Amino acid sequence: MTTPIDFKAQLIAEFQLNETRLNGESRSSLHQRRRLALSRFEQLGFPTIRHEEWKYSNVKNLVSQEFNITPSAEISHDHLTSLEIPNLAGNILYFINGQYQPQLSTIVSPADEVEILTFAEGYKKYPALVEEHFAKYADDSNDAFTALNTAFAQYGAFIHVTKGKVVEAPIILRFISDARTENVAVQLRNLIIVEERASLKVAESFRTLGEFASFTNTVTEAFLGKEANYDHYKVQDESEKAFHIGTTQVHHNDKALSYDTTVTLNGGWVRNNLNLVMGGEYVEAHLTGLYLPNGKQHIDNHTLVDHAMPNSYSNELYKGIMFDKSTGVFNGKIFVREDAQKTNAYQSCKNVLASPDATMNTKPQLEIYADDVKCSHGTTTGQMDEEALFYLQSRGIPKDKGRALLMLAFAEDVVEKIKIPAIREYLESAIAKKVGEV
Amino acid sequence: MLKIENLQASIGEKQILKGINLEVKPGEVHAIMGPNGSGKSTLASVLAGREDYDVTGGSVLFEGKDLLELAPEERAAEGIFLAFQYPVEIPGVSTTNFLKTALNEIRKYQGQEPLDAVSFLKRMKEKMKLVNIDQSLLSRSLNEGFSGGEKKRNEVFQMAMLEPKLGILDETDSGLDIDALRIVAEGVNTLRDGERSFIVVTHYQRLLDYIVPDFVHVLYKGRIVKSGTKELALELEEKGYDWIKAEVDALV
Ligand SMILES: Nc1ncnc2c1ncn2[C@@H]1O[C@H](COP(=O)(O)OP(=O)(O)OP(=O)(O)O)[C@@H](O)[C@H]1O
Ligand SMILES: [Mg+2]
């Protein structure tokens, strides 16, 4: 028997090894920030289920695995054909085990409209801008995975839209874990800056190749200037052996408008954090999510909407269809701070248990410190609507097909929010396939 | 066409149908009347194949086939249509889309090719006119937020689209204003072609003024206790059910 490798120690050692290769950069303020993050990670350690935020999501199986934390990325276009999204157009960037693959990628938007770089390139080219925003929004003081991610920030995308620019073509970031030959662990860090009155649609797509385990720890920070218009979609279709922990952090200024949609088609063990902080007034934010776990998949969505300023609006809708022995978690926090008068905040989470062995834990958490606000929340978890199913059958639609039709209709409220047609269509057909087969 | 013999059905421990006998021949219209809770909707549901009910005895033959052996969708494909007393709201599925799926599933069962888009639209237009239903209603989610009358009209529209051999209308007249009632009844009458049969469950003579039945039956406590021609309905309209109840209850 080999002694189990200590994942935490392995990561810290890798950080230190990395540092020796940095030369001049090690004195940069970016790196000082990484160091701070590492010390936080060291102190926090991986959370256990005794931690309130991790009560239903146990990382034990994740941290006890052995991963190559510096996996290589050698792949040709042929390996990716099975992962392609039909008719996808726009800026499409491939990252294999975190490393950007220019030969597989297409950038169509002119640089004066939007700057699309890797995180490392972005820092080289715009150090001041990166330092102004990096790690300013995603809080790593109490979150081990964000701390870890901040410490290793290097792989991922840097996207910058300057004042008033409307980016016509969407940006699709395709993150592929290549687990064909070994267990791989990857840390992804994206920084997205959308300045005043600028507009951007960006999608993150997560896929796995191969049968080995993968661990993706990803953080995307978005800064939205005044009246910025931002659509962000996260689409996950990973393997049964994939662990995914991700934080999407959005910081709004006055009158910014955001749509965040998270769709989890598949993934062995998934934790998504979506945190919105409204640092301005008259912000409008939409959060939607859909998850369809089957088998023994575990999908946890934690959301936080922080109404820090008055006169803003947030609307949240999460939906789940739980198959087989899958487990799900929804935790939705809404904070309305003392100053945030005239806040409108709505939250709803609806789940269908398609199997008696599936479980769903929901926890809305509203903390309201202002008095002139409109807030509502509701969660439902129930069986398939048998009356509706009989109605469809009585019109000649076979039971399985009727069930699939109802599930598709249930999912559509979320899918329709996606404004990149190729992704919406891909999801519709993937969902139809999944609900028809499971 | 339809032959029901000594049909008994219960839900849980409670027996609701206690031996129904009824024969419907091609082209006939049978009205079923009877007090609330007597089992009319239960009979309709059992014929359509609702699984909540246990059939504990008796038989139902539809065109010689054992209906009780078939799944609800197979019964629909064989030509049975139930217009629900309480049509179900289905968010996210438009009537149009739903009907296209239903129609093509039925065609598949019958070994026919799916209807092409042009023929489907043509049929839609034709049947919409028949029940005076608006396109905007059909593009909305099925029955969601429809008024009571709109739901009922949508049921008849669906029946017209699917062209069943036997239409079972469960109180399709209730909730309709007088104009809608006339439209719905005319729609049904247009579908009467000498072959297609109907079972019409109703509480009101006013529907039977438009859809003139060949036979009228009174269902009470899970049995057909009286059968007659259209004159029986008029008599019920005049005298109510008490005299029938008294007759039946005296026997027990
Ligand atoms: N799902 C059920 N669970 C328990 N009892 C039921 C159920 N469905 C029907 N019943 C009972 O069966 C009896 C017959 O009901 P049914 O709906 O068939 O009556 P009906 O003749 O259609 O009445 P109405 O004229 O009010 O529509 C009633 O006593 C009713 O309460
Ligand atoms: Mg009834």
Domains of chain B plus CATH, in order, are 2-251 (3.40.50.300)
Predicted confidence (pLDDT) at residue A223 exceeds the cutoff of 50: yes
Q: Is residue A343 part of a domain?
A: no
Residue-range definition of the domain harbouring residue A437: 386-438
Mean pLDDT of A121-139: 97
- Residue B202 Cβ inside 6 Å of ligand 1? The answer reads no
- Which among A245, A261, A278 is the end of a domain? A278
Q: Which residues 6+ apart lie within 8 Å of B226 measured at CB?
A: B217, B218, B232, B244
What's the pLDDT score for residue A172? 98
Which chain A residues touch B71 with a CB distance below 8 Å?
393, 398-399
Mean pLDDT of B169-179: 91
Strands A344-353, A374-382: parallel, antiparallel or unpaired by DSSP? parallel
- Residue B172 Cβ inside 6 Å of ligand 1? The answer reads no
Predicted confidence (pLDDT) at residue A1 exceeds the cutoff of 70: no
Please give the residue of chain A at the shortest CA–CA distance from B99.
Answer: A395
* A392/A253 same-domain check: no
Mean pLDDT of B201-219: 94
* A208/A88 same-domain check: yes
Predicted confidence (pLDDT) at residue A200 exceeds the cutoff of 50: yes
- Which among A247, A262, A278 is the end of a domain? A278
- Residue B95 Cβ inside 6 Å of ligand 1? The answer reads no
Nearest CA to ligand 1 atom 26: B36
Q: Is residue A312 part of a domain?
A: no
Q: Using a CB–CB cutoff of 8 Å, tell me whether B179 touches chain A.
A: no
Mean pLDDT of A88-100: 97
* A229/A99 same-domain check: yes
DSSP-assigned letters across all residues of B180-206 = HHHHHHHHHHHH--SS-EEEEE-S-HH
Q: Is residue A409 part of a domain?
A: yes
Mean pLDDT for all residues in chain B: 94
Question: What is the SS3 assignment for A215?
Answer: strand
* A211/A70 same-domain check: yes
Predicted confidence (pLDDT) at residue B238 exceeds the cutoff of 80: yes
What's the pLDDT score for residue A4? 57
Beta-carbon separation of A409 and B91 below 8 A: yes
Strands A229-237, A199-209: parallel, antiparallel or unpaired by DSSP? parallel
**B211, B198 in Cβ contact below 8 A?**
yes
- Residue B86 Cβ inside 6 Å of ligand 1? The answer reads no
Mean pLDDT of A67-74: 93
Pull the structure tokens for residue A34. Answer: 């990484």
What's the pLDDT score for residue B167? 97
User: Most B CBs within 10 Å: which of A317, A321, A389, A390, as the mutation test of the B interface?
Assistant: A390
- Which among A234, A250, A278 is the end of a domain? A278
Beta-carbon separation of A391 and B77 below 8 A: no
Q: Is residue A159 part of a domain?
A: yes
Mean pLDDT of A286-300: 98
Question: What is the SS3 assignment for A23?
Answer: helix
From residue B49, how far is each of A47, A221, A405, B67 by CA, in Å?
53, 55, 20, 9
* A272/A390 same-domain check: no
What's the pLDDT score for residue A435? 92
Q: Which residues 6+ apart lie within 8 Å of A359 measured at CB?
A: A322, A326, A327, A328, A353
pLDDT digits (tens, 9 = 90+) for B33-57: 999 999 999 999 999 999 999 999 9
- The answer for A215, left when phi > 0, alpha when psi is -120 to 50, beta otherwise, is beta
Nearest CA to ligand 1 atom 4: B11
pTM for this prediction: 0.90
Of A138-152, A274-288, B2-16, B229-243, the one with minimum mean pLDDT is B229-243
Minimal Cβ distance to A396: which of B50, B90, B162: B162
Predicted confidence (pLDDT) at residue A2 exceeds the cutoff of 60: no
**B220, B248 in Cβ contact below 8 A?**
yes
pLDDT digits (tens, 9 = 90+) for A151-179: 999 999 999 999 999 999 999 999 999 99
* A257/A397 same-domain check: no
Beta-carbon separation of B101 and A413 below 8 A: no
Beta-carbon separation of B71 and A398 below 8 A: yes
What's the pLDDT score for residue A23? 75
pLDDT digits (tens, 9 = 90+) for B115-127: 999 999 999 999 9
What's the pLDDT score for residue A3? 52
- The count of domains in chain A is 2
Mean pLDDT for all residues in chain A: 96
- The answer for B138, left when phi > 0, alpha when psi is -120 to 50, beta otherwise, is alpha
- Residue B218 Cβ inside 6 Å of ligand 1? The answer reads no
Beta-carbon separation of A396 and B48 below 8 A: no
Q: Is residue A295 part of a domain?
A: no
ipTM: 0.96
Compare A5 and A387 and report the one with higher pLDDT.
A387
Mean pLDDT of A25-53: 94
